[in-house]
Amino acid sequence: MTITNKITLVVATTLLCLCTAMAYAEFTVNLAFIKQEMQFQASSAMQNLSAALVPILETGDLDKSERFFETVMNEKTALSQVTLQWLFDGDLQTWSQEVAISQPAPEWFVAFDLIQPIWLTKTVTNSWTDLATLSILVETDNAYSTLWQLFRSFLISSIILITAATLVVRYTTARMLSPVKTITHEAKRIAKLDFSNAVPAPKTSDLSELTTAFNDMSLQLQNLFETLNEEISSLQKKYLYDDASSLPNRSFLIRQTESWLLSGDCGVLMLINLKWLENTDPKQGTKNFNECIRSMGQSIERILEHTNDSLVARTAKYEIAVVIPSIHEQQAREHLRKIIRAINSEIIINGLPIANGFAIGVAERNGNDSVSSLIERANIAKNQADTESTVFAFSQTTQEHSQEQLDEKLVEALQNDTFEYMLQPVFATASHEIQQYEVFTRLQLGDNAMGANKWLSDLSRLSIAQRFDRCVVKKLVTVLKSDKEIAPLSINLTSDSIKDPDFIIWLIDTITTNKLENRLYFEFAEAIACNHPEDCELACRSFNEAGIRFGIDRFGQHLASVSYLRALEPHFVKLDHSFIQNRDGSSDHLLLLKPIIKMASSLGIEVIASSIEYKHQLSTLPTSNIDAYFGFIAPPFPLESLNEEMRKSA
């Protein structure tokens, strides 16, 4: 209950009690007065009638007495019944009337029996003898009507008073406490690391002090988070970037390549030997070789700006490496032609000869490649190109299947929904209970089951990525509707789907119609969030408005600023698997990992560690901020085995 409501309730209750006490006192006084008034009227009527009856009784004229009482009863007196017993001859005369009440009291009010009728009897005499016995009855209708009118008027006045006072108090309190509401609103905004506005100081002195203290705290938090963000940037520049060219260094290249290889995705690595830089001399009008490398790095980045997770890094004094995931040799050759033109342009700008100015070695990823073997194959291809003066050379790559076979199989699987679904449990760190299942898809090609990470790029190339996502969503909706005991399922969405507003509308409609907002989660890679921020922000805003949970996969892969979390507001993030797998014993990566985990936790976002094989691996991470974990500590299992796995876990 809000403070305004509490104060309003207290005031209303106090006024109600006060009015109740006043009503009781008023009612008691009115009741006593009305009873007294009834008694007085009955006594007065008896006295007046007795005096008026003496001459009539002395004559013994029954007709006169009849006419007399008819006249009395017609004058709308309070008398409801009159009885006259003649003592001389024993005659009995009775007159009665229905007392007309314009506004009678309610029956429930009369049922309290607060007022009793008055019956008076008196012997009428003259100076020497008894003439008759007179009896009158005064009913309570008028009395109840009068008492009810007084009570109702007081009740209505009290209700109006209480209502008016309550509204005034509520309005005044709301105005007085408006700074508190403002502070609450601003606190929620600050919780999302939005420090754009300060809270204006109110006129009330005590609340003004509170507002000032809140603004000071907000400023301190802003400085803290800016320091944290600067720390991330400075650590990134210190350990991952080359100062002279501002390009990522060899350490960053190795880490990103390791992350890419662990994901199982296809792609190529290019090593470019820029021999012509040896001839640069600023004294002869050329740029400094570091400036040339920076310029070429920026040109190559512009060529690759529409690719996910591509990287341009400086690996030696005159060498650049380019990593392009999610492509095959054919797409690599298209990028290669553009890169060669960019290098030739830079050479021409510096007035140097193009011939034998550079050599490029290209290695397409093999299924069993490690970082060192991939770099070695690219280096051999580069040396081959240098030796043969052919500008570029491709390393020999053995493929288990042709591109045509894969394309045909993907289209067929999409038409017939023959994808295989695997589930991997995600455990809560505190309770070690299953929190959700991550869903993986596989494609059977010959004797091999290929994970989706090996052919997701082909879905985009064939323009069927959205159809694939729709297929997966429909399958999992059917599974969840069949059993309400299944823990939530989480699936990765492709870049094509996230960028398409029509797909997001369809997805939200499907989830809300089937009431699966808290049972089917969605994820997308950090690269999508970094490369397509506007599309992701629009999609995430729609998810949040619909109450659908979603998260960021491969969080921290780029080891860059995570300010995008404020705009997207995800419910959870899953750490990139390179933080756990194939660690070389160095703790440098933790210097960058800790602040970005703290940043996510400070925003109320769940942090999930991935690729956990043994529980002791969690000790290498800041576990106080790790909410859940998953990996081959509990290997994936087929969707068809879900019920059996649920029985085992139970």
The model's pLDDT over 135-170, given as tens digits with 9 standing for 90+, comes to 988 888 888 888 888 888 888 888 898 888 888 888
The yes-or-no verdict on residue 275 having pLDDT over 70 is: yes
- Which residue, among 265, 254, 255, has the nearest Cα to 367 in the 3D structure? 265
The yes-or-no verdict on residue 237 having pLDDT over 90 is: no
Instruction: Check whether residue 495 and residue 419 sit in a common domain.
Output: yes
Is residue 418 in a domain?
Answer: yes
> What's the CA gap between 526 and 73, in Å, rounded?
99
Residue 254 is predicted with a pLDDT of: 87
Instruction: Check whether residue 451 and residue 556 sit in a common domain.
Output: yes
Instruction: Check whether residue 526 and residue 560 sit in a common domain.
Output: yes
Residue 585 is predicted with a pLDDT of: 45
> What's the CA gap between 44 and 47, in Å, rounded?
5
Is residue 245 in a domain?
Answer: no
Quote the crossing angle between the two packed helices 62-74 and 3-59, to the nearest 10°: 160
Residue 345 to residues 276, 340, 590: CA-CA distances in angstroms? 12, 9, 40
Instruction: Check whether residue 455 and residue 407 sit in a common domain.
Output: yes
Instruction: Check whether residue 36 and residue 134 sit in a common domain.
Output: yes
Share of the chain above pLDDT 70, in %: 92
The yes-or-no verdict on residue 491 having pLDDT over 50 is: yes
Confidence class of residue 470 from pLDDT cuts 50, 70 and 90? Answer: very high
Is residue 483 in a domain?
Answer: yes
Instruction: Check whether residue 475 and residue 550 sit in a common domain.
Output: yes
Mean pLDDT of the chain: 85
> What's the CA gap between 245 and 370, in Å, rounded?
27
**Single residue among 187, 205, 240 that ends a domain in this structure:** 240
Instruction: Check whether residue 449 and residue 586 sit in a common domain.
Output: yes
Contacts of residues 284-289 at CB distance under 8 Å and 24 or more positions apart, as own/partner, are: 285/350, 285/351, 286/350, 286/351, 286/352, 287/350, 289/317, 289/318
> What's the CA gap between 391 and 384, in Å, rounded?
9
Instruction: Check whether residue 115 and residue 147 sit in a common domain.
Output: yes
Span 285-302, pLDDT tens digits: 667 888 888 999 999 999
* CA distance between the termini of the chain: 39
Instruction: Check whether residue 166 and residue 202 sit in a common domain.
Output: no
Position of tokens 């969707």? 639
Confidence class of residue 548 from pLDDT cuts 50, 70 and 90? Answer: very high
Six token digits for residue 532: 């397509």
Q: 625 burial class (0-12, 13-18, 19+ CB within 10 angstroms)?
A: middle
Question: Mean pLDDT throughout 328-355?
Answer: 88
Residue 479 is predicted with a pLDDT of: 94
Question: Mean pLDDT throughout 435-462?
Answer: 87
**Single residue among 172, 199, 215 that ends a domain in this structure:** 172
CATH of the domain at 528: 3.20.20.450
Handedness of CA 473, 474, 475, 476 (dihedral sign): positive
The yes-or-no verdict on residue 550 having pLDDT over 90 is: yes
Q: 335, 315 in Cβ contact below 8 A?
A: no
Residue 205 is predicted with a pLDDT of: 66
**For the chain, what is the domain count?**
4
More confident residue, 125 or 593: 125
Return the minimum-mean-pLDDT range out of 2-11, 312-321, 360-369, 602-611.
2-11
Residue 361 is predicted with a pLDDT of: 94
Question: Mean pLDDT throughout 86-111?
Answer: 82
Share in percent of the chain as helix, strand, coil (round to 5): 55, 20, 30
What letter represents residue 553's amino acid? D
The yes-or-no verdict on residue 305 having pLDDT over 90 is: no
Instruction: Check whether residue 469 and residue 410 sit in a common domain.
Output: yes
Name the pTM for this structure: 0.67
- Which residue, among 31, 55, 173, has the nearest Cα to 109 in the 3D structure? 31
Confidence class of residue 399 from pLDDT cuts 50, 70 and 90? Answer: low
Instruction: Check whether residue 464 and residue 573 sit in a common domain.
Output: yes
CATH of the domain at 76: 3.30.450
Q: Which domain holds residue 228?
A: 179-240
Return the minimum-mean-pLDDT range out of 201-205, 443-447, 531-535.
201-205
The yes-or-no verdict on residue 186 having pLDDT over 80 is: no
| Most confident listed range (129-133, 185-189, 493-497, 617-621) | 493-497
The yes-or-no verdict on residue 258 having pLDDT over 70 is: yes
CATH of the domain at 366: 3.30.70.270
Residue 559 is predicted with a pLDDT of: 67
Confidence class of residue 477 from pLDDT cuts 50, 70 and 90? Answer: very high
Is residue 82 in a domain?
Answer: yes
Instruction: Check whether residue 27 and residue 136 sit in a common domain.
Output: yes
**Single residue among 240, 262, 277 that ends a domain in this structure:** 240
